[in-house]
Amino acid sequence: MAFTNETAFINGLKTTPDQTKAIEALFNDPDFLKIWNYLKNCQKVIELKSIPGYKIRGKERFGGYTAGRKGTFVVNPTKPEHRDNPMEMVDTIIHECIHAVLDVQKDCGDTNYPFSKEITEVYEDPNIKGTPTTSKKHVDPRDKDHMDKHYGDSASSPNDEYIDINDKAQQLIIKIIRRLMKQTKVGKKTLTFENEEKRNPPSKPGGCILVLATLVLLIGSVIYFAIQMV
Amino acid sequence: MSNTAKAKAIMVDHFHSGNYENMSTADLVSVRDELADLWIQIDQVDIRVGMSQQEVKDALSDPFIENDGTWMYPSTFDQYYYSIEFDSGLVKETDFVALKIF
């Protein structure tokens, strides 16, 4: 068993009725269970922690993962975004699981590995040319376009930091959250959706109407002038 | 100057002062690489299991990050930290960890 205090950790995440619905649905989701069970069945110990007010470099964070001889998996249950939108907490849990899986793969190998090879994080991304960093101020100029295009803003410090998992990882989170929102009818889109929508802006429903109206006006004007000329 | 004193001076001059925020990437990489080398030499030599929090503070300065009984000091650019975990106020174990935050 790789996890410490798994049951207490999961129960500790259910601080509101909506969070309870969301967390229970997450731990029954087939894609998420593949990820969780991969971690659970790995021999590397992962300490699960709930740290209210979790702060790093002066900013309150959604969560974190530290990879050392053991892994430490942290969720901040009192972050207001987690309480206001239970899907934001789901997002954080999957996000930290992605770091954990990428970390324990070295110990636990490819059997039942839950991800495609395209899912990666900034520190392991082979396309990063300079020193890998999430700091916008210190990013290597050769990597700026890649970070803007394939990463986007971090959730807890969007002006100063990039998010540390790539677009493919973010798309996995979005896929699971969309399914859970449909199932549970709780929560709303998370900050991860904003990066995806910047990369692939959704087509506006009003856009078609505008094009149609312009066409009708154009055809109407042509007919009007044709009649006038006759 | 001992390795612990060198590490303490870097922590005080560059990190606790906030100076690291204005350093160029190259300088910051260099300072953190120097710290990484120092932590390896200090680990289990000057910082040992059973030391008190006050002894660690005196030797290395205040922690750069403190959460849930674990203290962290920076090393290498952006990612790796020298980590000291305490139990009842005494050093329980030390490690080098990659910190990923969201």
- Beta carbons of B87 and B98 less than 8 angstroms apart: no
- Residues of B within 8 A of A69 (CB-CB) are 95
- Top pLDDT among A194 and A230 is at A194
Residues A55-113: tens digit of each pLDDT? 887 889 999 999 999 999 999 988 999 989 999 999 999 999 999 999 999 889 999 99
Q: Is the pLDDT of residue A205 over 70?
A: no
Q: Nearest CB to B102: which of A64, A133, A140?
A: A64
A56 to chain B, any CB pair closer than 8 A? The answer is yes
CA distances from A131 to A99, A135, A167 (A): 19, 11, 20
- Beta carbons of B82 and B64 less than 8 angstroms apart: no
A208 CB-near residues (< 8 Å, 6+ apart)? none
- Beta carbons of A163 and A195 less than 8 angstroms apart: yes
Looking at residue A224, the DSSP 8-state letter turns out to be H
* CATH class of the domain comprising B3-98: alpha beta
CA distances from B4 to A94, A187, B9, B94 (A): 39, 50, 9, 15
- Residues of B within 8 A of A66 (CB-CB) are 81, 83, 97-100
CA distances from B59 to A74, B51, B92, B97 (A): 28, 11, 17, 20
- Beta carbons of B77 and A133 less than 8 angstroms apart: yes
Residue ranges per domain, chain A?
3-199, 205-230
A60 CB-near residues (< 8 Å, 6+ apart)? A53, A54, A76, A79, A156
B45 to chain A, any CB pair closer than 8 A? The answer is no
Q: Is the pLDDT of residue A208 over 60?
A: no
Residues B48-76: tens digit of each pLDDT? 999 999 999 999 999 999 988 999 999 98
Q: Is the pLDDT of residue A221 over 80?
A: no
- Residues of A within 8 A of B102 (CB-CB) are 61-64, 92, 95-96, 154-156, 163-164
Residue ranges per domain, chain B?
3-98
Q: Which two tokens stand for residue A217?
A: 């006006």
Residue A157's pLDDT band, with cuts at 50, 70 and 90, is: confident
Q: Nearest CB to B102: which of A96, A123, A138?
A: A96
B1 to chain A, any CB pair closer than 8 A? The answer is no
Query: Is A109 exposed, middle or buried (CB count within 10 Å of its CB: 0-12, 13-18, 19+)?
Result: exposed
pLDDT value at residue A37:
96
CB contact (8 A) between residue B67 and residue A74: yes
- Comparing CA positions, the residue from A67, A75, A72, A74 lying closest to residue A107 is A67
DSSP helix/strand/coil, A229: helix
Residues A8-22: tens digit of each pLDDT? 999 988 888 999 999
Whose structure tokens read 């509101």? A16
Looking at residue A150, the DSSP 8-state letter turns out to be H
* Distance of alpha carbon A24 from alpha carbon A96, whole angstroms: 18
CB contact (8 A) between residue B101 and residue A156: yes
- Residues of A within 8 A of B67 (CB-CB) are 51, 54-56, 74
DSSP string, A82-141: HHH-HHHHHHHHHHHHHHHHHHHHHHH-STT--S-TT--BGGG-TT--S---SBTTT--G
> Residue A141: how many CA atoms within 13 Å on its side-chain side?
2
B36 to chain A, any CB pair closer than 8 A? The answer is no
- Supply the ipTM of this predicted assembly: 0.88
Query: Is B1 exposed, middle or buried (CB count within 10 Å of its CB: 0-12, 13-18, 19+)?
Result: exposed
CB contact (8 A) between residue B102 and residue A155: yes
Q: How far is A52 from chain B (nearest CA, A)?
A: 10
CB contact (8 A) between residue B78 and residue A65: no
- Which helix (H) or strand (E) segment holds residue A173: the answer is helix A167-184
* Distance of alpha carbon B30 from alpha carbon A132, whole angstroms: 14
